[in-house]
Amino acid sequence: MPLDLETLARARTLLSVPGHRPDRFNKAVASGADAIMLDLEDAVGPTLKTQARSNIDHWLAEGGSGVVRINDCGTEWYEDDVAMLARHFAPVLLPKVTDGDQVARLVERLPSGVFVMVLLETGAGILSARDICSVPGVARAMFGNVDLASEMGINHADRVALAPARSQVALASSAAGVAPPMDGLTTAVRDEQELRRDVDHAAALGFTGKLCIHPSQVPVVNARYAPSPDQLRWAREVVAAAGNGSVTVVDGQLVAKPVVAQARRILAVPSQQS
């Protein structure tokens, strides 16, 4: 079944799988990730692009689902990627977005009702984030830490250096009224502590999901973004205390309308530590 908007908006984990490795598609689905990302871009070498596109075309035609990351609009592969996806009802991740017009043109060429995720990974894209996220058809943004850091000449794992850019993406998403964004890669695949630190940092800035590059990262990220028992208890108490909508106090803290809204968002997040 195609991914619907609600699933896409609430996804904690998006597991990347290269389009030229169809043997990994079902394994990715079975990983426990909330959704998979079928990649036609960075994970696929130039000579394998055509085969990767064919593999994804077949997967979608047979009823498989996933977000498809296409090649950016400045590449020679973009047109063929879009033509293939015009035959399917699958969300699209557009990389290296620098302005809203790029997204609007893509949306026009996709089947009606298909949503687009935007990958903000350039200085121009970060500074135009609100306009980009406001384009009708955008479901969610993703922060591209590796490419942005490369463009800026800084370490992609430096959380402090990239914090302003991450915050810009989170604020833009909020201002545009789309789902909170997903964070980019933790490239230290075997370092679980680094992964936990990355997730906690992004969550503190307003992110609610992350792109994973290995199945072993999925349960860690899912658990980190799932509400804790204490958070669930607090959220239930807040919602129950809200009653008639008047201001009240829970655990010694003022509870007003924005706090109740936050509690409801916590209760909507999958709580299983999968």
Q: What is the pTM of this model?
A: 0.87
Instruction: Clarify whether residues 189 and 234 are in a common domain.
Output: no
Average pLDDT, the chain: 91
**Res 273 pLDDT > 50:** no
pLDDT band (50, 70, 90) for residue 250: low
Query: If pLDDT is split at 50, 70 and 90, which confidence band does 8 have?
Result: very high
Degrees to nearest 5, angle at CA 16 with 164 and 145: 15
26 and 99 in a single domain? The answer is yes
> Structurally, how many domains does the chain consist of?
2
pLDDT exceeds cutoff 90 at 264: no
265 or 209, greater pLDDT: 209
71 pLDDT exceeds 50? yes
As a whole-number percent, the residues of the chain with pLDDT over 70 amount to 87
CATH number, domain with residue 80? 3.20.20.60
**% the chain with pLDDT above 90:** 80
Q: What is the DSSP letter of 190?
A: T
Please indicate, yes or no, whether residues 150 and 213 belong to a single structural domain of this protein: yes
Same domain, 216 and 252: no
Per-residue pLDDT, 239: 75
The pLDDT, as a whole number, for residue 237 is 72
pLDDT at residue 233, as a whole number: 73
Asked if 273 contacts 228 with a C-beta cutoff of 8 angstroms, the reply is no
3-state class percentages of the chain: helix first, strand second, coil last, to nearest 5: 50, 15, 35
CA distance 70 to 15: 15
pLDDT for the residue numbered 118: 98
Q: Do 252 and 138 lie in a common domain?
A: no
**Alpha-carbon gap, residue 67 to 92, rounded angstroms:** 5
For residue 274, pLDDT beyond 60: no
Residue 252, Ramachandran bin (φ over 0: left; ψ between -120 and 50: alpha; else beta): left
Q: What is the CA radius of gyration of the chain?
A: 19
Q: Do 50 and 67 fall into the same domain?
A: yes
- Domain residues for the domain of 100 are 5-225
Closest C-alpha among 193, 139, 201, 213 to residue 166: 201
